[in-house]
């Protein structure tokens, strides 16, 4: 943990930089999602919303979230115990989502089943 005055002063600058990055990221998500006329080339994939919009949007969001977690929440210099705790949470949430995906693939959802 940054404890000296100089280190704290320095980290303040980092925080401001992250703040700027987050603002830019936010504007970027909106612009990419519905590009104004003069930026029409930002509309990747098909016209309108498609998987590319989802991927790009989530990528930007993940980047922003990582910035917040790493810099604001000090995950860049944290003790081991914290990584274990938070890592376990992330693993469980991923596992849960995968379980749902498995349920979604359940053969009972076969449309022929209802015919």
Partner 1 sequence: MEIPYIVTPRKDTGLINSKIAIWLFLASEVMLFGGFFSAYVYLRMGADYPWPERTLPVLPGLINTFVLIGSSVTVVFAWVALKMREWRKFQIYMGITVACAALFMVLKGVEYNVKLHHQAVRLDDYSVIEGHLGYELKEGADKHHPNPDDYEKNHNGHKIEENMIRVKSEKLTFSVNRFYKSWVEEILSEAKHQNVTYILEEDVEAFTKPASSKSEKRQPKILAKKGTELSVELLQSLKKEYLKARAHNGVIRTEALRSEWVIAKKENPGKRGWEVATGVNIDMDAIGHELLTEVASATFVAEGGAELLFKPRNIQEGETSSRLRDDTVITGKLEESPMVFHNVDAIDFQWLVMKAEEKGISPESAIENSWLMKSNKFVRDAWAWHLKRNESRQKELNDRYGFEEGKNGKETDIPKRVLTHKELYRMGWKDFAKMGEETKNVSVGGVDAFKEEFLGPNYKARGEETFPHLSIPREEIRHAAKFSPAWNTYYAIYFTITGLHGLHVIGGALVLAYYLLFGRKMYLENPEWLTNRVEVGGLFWHFVDLIWIFAFPILYLM
Using CB under 8 A, which of 39, 44, 52, 68 touches partner 1? 68
Coil, strand, or helix at residue 15? Answer: helix
Other CB atoms within 10 A of residue 90 CB: 9
Residues lying near partner 1 in the complex (CB under 8 A) are found at 3, 5, 8, 11-12, 15-16, 18-19, 22-23, 26, 29-30, 33-34, 40, 46-49, 53-54, 57-58, 60-61, 64-65, 68-69, 72-73, 79-82, 85-86, 88-90, 92-93, 96-97, 100, 104
């Amino acid at each position: 943990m940054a404890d000296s005055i100089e280190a704290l002063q320095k980290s303040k600058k980092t925080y401001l930089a992250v703040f700027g990055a987050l603002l830019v990221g936010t504007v970027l998500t909106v612009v990419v999602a519905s590009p104004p006329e003069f930026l029409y080339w930002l509309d990747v994939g098909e016209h309108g919303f498609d998987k590319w919009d989802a991927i790009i949007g989530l990528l930007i969001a993940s980047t922003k979230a990582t910035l917040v977690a790493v810099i604001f929440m000090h995950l860049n210099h944290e003790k081991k115990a914290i990584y274990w705790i938070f890592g376990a949470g992330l693993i469980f949430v991923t596992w849960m989502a995968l379980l749902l995906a498995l349920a979604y693939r359940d053969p009972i959802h076969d449309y022929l089943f209802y015919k």
